[in-house]
């Protein structure tokens, strides 16, 4: 890894013109909180994953970016379990002499804040035939309550394949899940009960797969009548054993909150075409859900409502921070909400919740 020296954040002009900054950004940012309360930010760029690490919980001093080599990885996701390990899962493409490409799914782990990331380990591909293997899409992942990693990928024939660790940490074989007509990447999520669920976009809406017991088979559940905009879905546990999916409607009807067996609830706001980030936190002592989106105007928008109280209305505000890509949310080691985004200058910036009533953000600072 290569590392820049420890330094203090620098103020950002939210309306600054576009710049080159980090270069071509392929994914992120992702913002995670470690066991020690420090934040870590990740951004996927050409042939590398860049990583920034907070010097102390709540500090404006960060180290980085450190470059984790990621040659040939064209899609990446970063997920975290209850053990706070960070799992990096990617789709890797390597050239072959016969003009085809070798495509496999790879995985690396960071066990502690600031510690090195392991080497990439190949999880293979659901298909052995190269003509089928190249059609495998972007992986998505979730970490079950026992620490088992679930990795699922859409296939070129409208199917979905899963590979997961068993209770002993050994990888099971790839298996096909009972779904057809898959049109986009799935949205797997883990619950505090130990169960894992997946929301899967299909041609007519979205299909819900769920488990009857931890480690059990994933079987079809309720269907969702909203067709998710590709890449927009985020899952959040909003009550014990219950997930809410936040997504944008592919037909342009806006953002919705979706819970299994219930009607979709419109959220208002003006989301763009990216991922909705969601976080549950206390505001003025009230259990609330905070949403972050790249709005239709290209700026970071924040929404807040009482948890599972979307029908009563979502309060939206435009931060005026122009961004490239989707913002990310986390709670820092001092319990404050933090927002990370790649600014129009192509540099990573962070803003935090200020003391006082409601949700007021500090100025944005480049890290």
- Quick one: pLDDT at residue 14? 57
Rg (the chain; Cα; Å):
20
In which residue are the tokens 């972050």 written?
Answer: 292
Asked if 85 and 111 touch (Cβ cutoff 8 Å), the reply is yes
Among 252, 280, 255, 253, smallest CA distance to 267 is for 255
290's tokens: 């905070």
* Strand order across the beta sheet in which 149-154 lies: 140-143, 149-154, 160-164, 175-176
**What phi-psi label fits residue 74: left (phi over 0), alpha (psi between -120 and 50 degrees) or beta?**
alpha
Q: Is the dihedral of CA 124, 274, 340, 310 positive or negative?
A: negative
Cα–Cα distance, 1 to 68 (Å, whole number): 6
E-strand ranges in 34-148 read 39-45, 48-54, 61-69, 73-80, 86-95, 101-110, 121-124, 140-143
pLDDT tens string 145-160: 999 999 999 998 899 9
CA-closest candidate to residue 209, choices 248, 238, 176: 176
> Is the predicted pLDDT of residue 119 greater than 70, yes or no?
yes
DSSP 8-state code for residue 310? G
Cβ contact 9:62 at 8 Å: yes
User: Interior CA angle at 358 toward 357 and 360, to 5°?
Assistant: 100
3-class SS of residue 186: coil
Task: Give the mean pLDDT of 223-245.
Answer: 93
Q: Give the residue from 68, 109, 64 showing the smallest Cα distance to 89.
A: 109
Query: In whole angstroms, what is the distance from residue 89 CA to residue 109 CA?
Result: 9
Q: What is the pLDDT of residue 8?
A: 44
Does the pLDDT at position 6 exceed 80? Answer: no
pTM for this entry: 0.92
Closest CA to 106 of 118, 94, 88: 88
Give the chain's mean pLDDT. 91
Q: How confident is the model at residue 99 (pLDDT cuts 50, 70, 90)?
A: confident
Q: In the sheet that 205-210 helps form, which strands lie side by side, from edge to edge? A: 187-190, 196-202, 205-210, 219-224
Separation CA 268–CA 270 (nearest Å): 7
- What token pair was written down for 315? 């309060």
- pLDDT attached to residue 312: 95
| Per-residue pLDDT, 195 | 96
Best-predicted range by mean pLDDT (16-20, 273-277, 328-332): 328-332
Query: Among 112, 110, 135, 133, which residue's Cα sits nearest to residue 123?
Result: 133
Answer yes or no: is pLDDT of 20 > 50.
Answer: yes
Structure confidence at residue 9 (pLDDT): 52
| Chain segment 247-271, per-residue pLDDT in tens | 999 888 889 999 988 899 999 988 8
Return the H-helix or E-strand segment holding 130: helix 130-133
Regarding predicted confidence, which is higher, 14 or 24? 24
Position 1 scores a pLDDT of 37
Q: Please enumerate in sequence order all residues whose Cβ is within 8 A of that of 296, keeping only pairs 6 or more positions apart, or say none.
A: 270, 271, 272
Binning pLDDT at 50, 70 and 90, where does residue 210 land? Answer: very high
What's residue 203's pLDDT?
Answer: 86
Listed residue (73, 30, 31) closest to 48, CA to CA? 73
- Residue 167 in this model has a pLDDT that exceeds 80: yes
CATH 3.40.50.80 fits 74-224, yes or no: no
Can you give the residue ranges of every domain in the chain? 74-224, 230-367
pLDDT of residue 2: 35
Report CA 198 to chain centroid distance, whole Å.
14
Q: Residue 239's CB: how many other CB atoms inside 10 A?
A: 14
β-sheet bridge partners, residue 124: 105
Helices within 200-295 (DSSP H only): none
Residue 4 has pLDDT above 50, yes or no: no
Residues in the chain: 367
The mean per-residue pLDDT over the stretch 284-298 comes to 94
Each residue's pLDDT tens digit, 51-84: 999 999 999 999 989 999 999 999 999 999 999 9
Q: Considering the chain, what percentage of its residues have pLDDT values greater than 90? A: 76
Count CB-CB contacts under 10 A for residue 153: 27
């Amino acid at each position: 890894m290569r590392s820049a020296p420890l330094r203090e954040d620098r103020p950002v002009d939210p309306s600054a013109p576009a710049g080159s900054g980090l270069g071509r950004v392929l994914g992120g940012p992702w913002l995670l909180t470690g066991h020690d309360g420090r934040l870590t930010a990740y951004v996927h760029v050409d042939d590398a994953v860049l990583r920034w690490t907070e010097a102390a919980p709540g500090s404006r001093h960060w180290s980085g970016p450190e470059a984790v080599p990621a040659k040939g990885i064209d899609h990446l996701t970063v997920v975290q379990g209850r053990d706070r390990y960070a799992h990096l899962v990617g789709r890797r493409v390597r050239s072959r002499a016969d003009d085809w490409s070798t495509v496999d799914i790879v995985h690396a782990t960071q066990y502690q804040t600031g510690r090195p990331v392991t080497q990439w380990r190949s999880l293979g591909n659901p298909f052995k035939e190269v003509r089928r293997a190249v059609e495998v899409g972007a992986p998505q992942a979730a970490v079950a309550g026992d620490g088992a990693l679930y990795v699922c990928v859409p296939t070129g024939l409208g199917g979905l394949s899963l590979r997961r660790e068993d209770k002993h940490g050994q990888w099971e074989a790839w298996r096909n899940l009972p779904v057809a007509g898959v049109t986009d990447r799935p949205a797997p999520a883990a619950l505090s009960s130990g169960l894992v669920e997946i929301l899967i976009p299909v041609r007519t809406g979205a299909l819900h797969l769920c488990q009857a017991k931890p480690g059990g088979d994933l079987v079809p559940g309720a269907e969702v009548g909203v067709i998710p905009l590709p890449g927009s879905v985020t899952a959040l546990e909003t009550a014990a054993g219950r997930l809410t999916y936040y997504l944008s409607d592919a037909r342009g009807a806006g953002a919705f909150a979706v819970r299994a067996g219930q009607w979709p609830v419109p959220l208002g706001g003006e989301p763009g075409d990216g991922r909705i980030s969601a976080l549950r936190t206390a505001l003025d002592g009230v259990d609330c859900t905070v949403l972050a989106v790249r709005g239709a105007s290209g700026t970071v928008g924040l929404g807040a409502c009482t948890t599972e109280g979307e029908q009563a209305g979502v309060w939206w505000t435009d931060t005026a921070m122009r961004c490239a890509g989707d913002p990310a949310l986390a709670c820092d080691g001092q319990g404050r909400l933090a927002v990370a985004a790649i600014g129009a200058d192509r540099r990573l910036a962070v803003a935090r919740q200020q003391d006082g009533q409601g949700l007021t953000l500090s100025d944005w600072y480049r890290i």
